[in-house]
Amino acid sequence: MKAQASAEQQTAAKTGADLLVEAMIAQGVETLFGYPGGAVLPIYDAIYRAEGSFDHILPRHEQGAIHAAEGYARVSGKAGVVIGTSGPGATNLVTGIADAMMDSIPLVIFTGQVAKGVIGTDAFQESDIMGITTPITKHNYQVQEIEDLPRIVNEAFHIATTGRPGPVVVDIPKDISSTVHEKQVDSEFHLPGYQPTVKPNPLQINKLHDALVEAKKPVVLSGSGVIHAGASEELKTFVQNYQLPVTTTLLGLGSYPGSCDLSLGMAGMHGTYSANTALYECDLLINIGSRFDDRLTGNLKHFAPNATIAHIDIDPAEIGKNIPTQIPIVSDARAALVSLNEKPVKGLDHKGWMEAISQNKVDYPLWHDLPEEAIVPQWLMQKVYEYTDGKAVVTTDVGQHQMWAAQYYHFDRPNRWVTSGGLGTMGYGFPAAIGAQLADMDSTCVAVVGDGGFQMTMQELSVLQERKLPVKVLIVNNQALGMVRQWQETFYSERYSESIIDVQPDFVKLAESYQIAGYKMETQEELLEVLPEVLADDQPAVIDCRVLQKENVYPMIAPGKGLHEMIGVKR
Amino acid sequence: MRRIVTATVHNRSGVLNRVTGLLAKRQFNIESISVGRTETEGVSKMTFVVEVEDDRKLEQLTKQLNKQIEVLKVSDITDKAIVARELAMVKVISNPQIRSEIQGIIEPFRASIIDVSKESVTVQVTGKSDKVDALIDLLRPYGIKELARTGLTAFTRGHQPQVAEFKSYSLLK
Ligand SMILES: Cc1ncc(C[n+]2csc(CCOP(=O)(O)OP(=O)(O)O)c2C)c(N)n1
Ligand SMILES: [Mg+2]
Interval A142-156: pLDDT, tens: 999 999 999 999 999
Tens of pLDDT along B132-167?
Answer: 999 999 999 999 999 999 999 999 999 988 765 444
Asked if A194 and A166 touch (Cβ cutoff 8 Å), the reply is no
Per-domain residue ranges of chain A: 12-181, 202-363, 377-553
Tens of pLDDT along A515-527?
Answer: 999 999 999 999 9
- Give the span between the Cα atoms of A308 and A298, in whole angstroms: 18
Which value, in Å, is the radius of gyration of the alpha carbons in chain B?
Answer: 19
Which residues are registered as beta bridge partners of A310? A286, A327
Chain A residues with CB under 8 Å of B21 CB are 134-135
Instruction: Give the closest residue to A66 by CA, choosing from A168, A157, A176.
Output: A168
The phi-psi region of residue A300 (left if phi > 0; otherwise alpha if psi is between -120 and 50; otherwise beta) is alpha
- Give the span between the Cα atoms of A473 and A434, in whole angstroms: 10
Q: Over 90: is that where the pLDDT of B168 sits?
A: no
Instruction: Give the closest residue to A436 by CA, choosing from A409, A472, A386.
Output: A472
Helix segments in chain B, DSSP class H: 15-25, 55-67, 96-106, 129-139, 163-166
| Alpha carbon A55 to its chain's center | 22
Closest Cα to atom 24 of ligand 1: A426
- A343 annotated active-site: no
Confidence band for A123, pLDDT divided at 50, 70 and 90: very high
Confidence band for B169, pLDDT divided at 50, 70 and 90: very low
Q: Is A476 in the pocket of ligand 1 (CB under 6 A)?
A: yes
Q: Do A191 and B56 touch (CB under 8 A)?
A: no
Confidence band for A7, pLDDT divided at 50, 70 and 90: very low
Closest atom of ligand 1 to CA, residue A398: 9
Closest atom of ligand 1 to CA, residue A501: 16
Chain A residues with CB under 8 Å of B10 CB are 193
| Topology (CATH level 3) of domain B2-76 | Alpha-Beta Plaits (3.30.70)
Closest Cα to atom 13 of ligand 1: A481
Tens of pLDDT along A302-348?
Answer: 999 999 999 999 999 999 999 999 999 999 999 999 999 999 999 99
H or E element, residue A236:
helix A232-242
- A174 annotated active-site: yes
DSSP state of A331: S
Q: Is A320 in the pocket of ligand 1 (CB under 6 A)?
A: no
User: How close is the nearest chain B Cα to the Cα of A452, in Å?
Assistant: 31
Q: Hey, CA dihedral for A338, A339, A342, A344, is it positive or negative?
A: negative
Instruction: Give the closest residue to B95 by CA, choosing from B143, B32, B26.
Output: B143
- Nearest by CB to A317, from B9, B13, B67: name it: B67
The helix-helix angle for A482-491 and A400-408 (nearest 10°) equals: 100
- The CATH number given to A377-553 is 3.40.50.970
- A411 annotated active-site: no
Of the listed A10, A124, A183, A533, which one is catalytic? Answer: A124
Q: Is A234 in the pocket of ligand 1 (CB under 6 A)?
A: no
- Give the span between the Cα atoms of B122 and B94, in whole angstroms: 10
Fold: same for B2-76 and B84-154: yes
**What is the structure's pLDDT at B170?**
38
CA quadruple A202, A330, A343, A411: dihedral, nearest 10: -170
Average pLDDT over all residues of chain A: 96
- Give the span between the Cα atoms of A44 and A53, in whole angstroms: 13
Tens of pLDDT along B108-124?
Answer: 999 999 999 999 999 99
| Topology (CATH level 3) of domain A202-363 | Rossmann fold (3.40.50)
**What is the structure's pLDDT at A432?**
99
Ligand 2 mean position, distance from CA A505 (Å): 13
Percentage of the residues of chain A whose pLDDT score is greater than 70: 98
Closest atom of ligand 1 to CA, residue A486: 19
| Topology (CATH level 3) of domain B84-154 | Alpha-Beta Plaits (3.30.70)
Instruction: Give the closest residue to B109 by CA, choosing from B82, B86, B140, B132.
Output: B132
Specify the CATH architecture of the domain A12-181: 3-Layer(aba) Sandwich (3.40)
Ligand 2 mean position, distance from CA A253 (Å): 23
Q: How many residues does chain B have?
A: 173
Mean pLDDT of A170-182: 96
Q: Is A15 in the pocket of ligand 1 (CB under 6 A)?
A: no
- Nearest by CB to B56, from A193, A315, A320: name it: A320
A445-450 and A393-396 as β-strands: parallel, antiparallel, unpaired? parallel
Asked if B44 and B8 touch (Cβ cutoff 8 Å), the reply is yes
Q: Over 60: is that where the pLDDT of A8 sits?
A: no
Q: Over 70: is that where the pLDDT of A4 sits?
A: no
Instruction: Give the closest residue to A298 by CA, choosing from A555, A564, A552.
Output: A564
A80-84 and A308-313 as β-strands: parallel, antiparallel, unpaired? unpaired
Per-domain residue ranges of chain B: 2-76, 84-154
- A486 annotated active-site: no
Tens of pLDDT along A239-274?
Answer: 999 999 999 999 999 999 999 999 999 999 999 999
Give the ipTM: 0.91
Which residue of chain B has the CA closest to A193?
B72
Which residue of chain A has the CA closest to B65?
A317
- Give the span between the Cα atoms of B17 and B35, in whole angstroms: 12
- Nearest by CB to A191, from B14, B60, B69: name it: B69
Q: Is A401 in the pocket of ligand 1 (CB under 6 A)?
A: yes
Q: Mutation test of ligand 1: which of A103, A398, A477, A507 has the most ligand atoms closer than 8 Å to its C-beta?
A: A398
User: Where are the extended beta strands (E) located within A137-197?
Assistant: 139-142, 167-173, 180-181
Query: Chain A residues within 8 A (CB-CB) of chain B?
Result: 130-131, 134-135, 138-140, 142, 144, 159, 191-194, 315-317, 320-321, 324
**What is the structure's pLDDT at B163?**
60
User: Where are the extended beta strands (E) located within A281-326?
Assistant: 284-288, 308-313
The phi-psi region of residue A568 (left if phi > 0; otherwise alpha if psi is between -120 and 50; otherwise beta) is left
Tens of pLDDT along A276-305?
Answer: 999 999 999 999 999 999 999 999 999 999
Q: What is the DSSP track for B36-57?
A: EE-SSTTEEEEEEEEE-SSHHH
How many CB atoms are closer than 10 A to CB A533? 11
The two most distant CA atoms of chain B are separated, in Å, by: 56
Q: Mutation test of ligand 1: which of A61, A484, A499, A500 has the most ligand atoms closer than 8 Å to its C-beta?
A: A484
Q: Do A134 and B18 touch (CB under 8 A)?
A: yes
Fold: same for A12-181 and A202-363: yes
Confidence band for A183, pLDDT divided at 50, 70 and 90: confident
Ligand 1 mean position, distance from CA A189 (Å): 43
What pTM was estimated for this model as a whole?
A: 0.95
